[in-house]
Structure 1
């Protein structure tokens, strides 16, 4: 299984550094901000499942620990594996030049071993919950590590689509820890998160256009142009508009707030066709997307509680 990834490590020489691994280096290695962002959808899926299956948190407090820690370790393993494999292009991109895989603070072999260990420990904890959580965590891990990082990221513009699939399963992990995912709520949450990630990633790709171009990464703006990427964003935002109404069982407040956020985002995206500064516009979209995710998923928890 590892034959296709050995050449990457062979092409990257472990750099030597005089300073030791610091906390900041480790946080960079596991992409801490991305890791924490994944925790919110997992918790949201878990809390919503407790409500819809009429279960008490007191009966599932141990499950909540296993599901959160286990899933986060599996995700951390995937993110570390991504750092290990992408060390060559990370050395070209400005925003990733300080990662320990680039500076040589941590040898690539050690990074690879860490990724495997985190993943195994994570799956072990999820095994204490049920097989369904392991299955959905594996879908996310396999899609991100093999289909996105190792296969499509450098070759095809649909890498964003594949990467979004891996992130969209997080609410399913939380929900599956309580009951069956054959329910409209977890499926719609998965769809919402998928669309959000497409928009979020396109915003980053435009914002960091020059860096992706220098690293020769096949992001849509680099291959097909920024205007075409904006048109794709408009399409995905239209797909986002009906999502709140599919979750109308969660109440009018959720539907109204989320719909207002969707319309506001659509207006922001359309304004991009009138702006000359694409980098600034992309940065606004990036900030909007981050706040959108936090507001919507926190609101899901609040209206449920």
Structure 2
């Protein structure tokens, strides 16, 4: 009887360990932050097309499943390729590529097959949405992971282009993305990701320095990174005004308050004595900015 209990507990433990490994492999928070704009843009696209959400449940599921798989495939391949860097960084020590819980061959094939399955699923939506999915994957995997991350401080900007495709995917699953809303969302996501990533780079400065990754704080110093961080956040301020005629003053007010609050927080970086804590606060604020901006746009179109 005791042996059965031990075996049962071991089985549960193995399952939990597997799920934990998958979470680290997919960079859980990164995956969610990329899928949220897909949903937001999909919802908004239905609204401006005059369609009802309940009439397109199957399209919604295909879009969310397909985009999630493509994004997951890109993240898995990123983990596979960067295992040598991850071994040198404290924050990545629990990834299964580092611990050896998953073989490198299995991880590579998982990334390839997940990507293919995601793109095939996206083909069941629209060709345009599939192209945006492929472009986002290509920029993240080829231009960011394989080419620029180990060579240039501009890797952050290049990576941001990849994430900015996510609202185009959601919108184009319903109708062509030649509309002011997905274009503005693309711009917001592109700019937003730079200070979001900069907060990670400042918080994990020692890690990136140990791994010789040319992030801006490592190459140009903290003052330059803090200044660039602030400038990008300021650039967010006017963009939602382009949607005033569609969403009215509430969106502009909410987005402006969110951005001004972030500007004040970012400016404190010049005087703070604890950069790691300040960077963590910026990281949390950036995620809240994205969630609340998306939530506001959805509420205004319910």
Equivalent of residue 252 in structure 2, options 228, 250, 255 = 255
Cα distance change of structure 1 residues 51 and 256 upon mapping to structure 2, 3 Å threshold: same
Q: Does the 8 Å contact 2:184/2:240 carry over to 1?
A: no
Alpha-carbon distance in 2 for matches of 1:260, 1:286: 17
Find the counterpart in structure 2 of residue 271 from structure 1. Answer: 268
Give the aligned partner of residue 283 of structure 1.
280
Aligned to 1:40: 36
In the TM superposition, 1:223-234 aligns within 5 A as: 223-234=219-230
Output one character per residue of 1:276-300: Cα deviation in whole Å (capped at 9) or x when no partner.
2211111111111111111111111
Aligned pairs for 1:50-129 (under 5 A) are: 50-129=46-125
Residues 62 and 19 of structure 1, relative CA distance in 2, 3 Å threshold: closer
> For the residues of structure 2 that align with 1:168 and 1:121, how far apart are their CA atoms?
22
What is aligned with 1:172? 168
Q: Say whether the 8 Å CA contact 1:20–1:105 is kept in structure 2.
A: no
State TM-score, norm by structure 2.
Answer: 0.93
- The answer to whether residue 299 in structure 2 is matched with residue 296 in structure 1 is no
Candidates 117, 129, 136, aligned match of 1:133: 129
5+ residue gaps in structure 2?
A: 1-13
Q: CA deviation at 1:156?
A: 0.3
Deviation track 1:202-248 (CA, whole Å, cap 9, x = no partner) reads: 01100100100001001000000110011111211221110121121
CA distance, structure 1, for counterparts of residue 103 and residue 57 of structure 2:
38
Using the TM superposition, give the Cα deviation of residue 51 of structure 1 relative to its aligned residue in structure 2, in angstroms.
Answer: 1.0
Distance 1:124 1:71 in 2: 10
Shift of 1:80: 0.2
Q: Which has the higher helix share?
A: 2
CA distance in 2, matches of 1:280, 1:33: 19
Distance 1:23 1:49 in 2: 34
Q: Is the 8 A contact 1:21 1:106 kept in 2?
A: no
Q: Which runs of 5+ in 1 are unaligned?
A: 1-17
Residues 98-132 of structure 1: per-residue CA shift (max 9 Å, x gap): 11000111110000000011011101110111110
The number of residues matched between the two structures is 288
Q: Report if aligned partners of 1:92, 1:211 keep a CA contact under 8 Å in 2.
A: yes
Give the superposition deviation at 1:59. Answer: 2.7
Give yes or no for the alignment of 1:242 onto 2:232: no
| Runs of 4+ in structure 1 over 3 Å off | 18-21
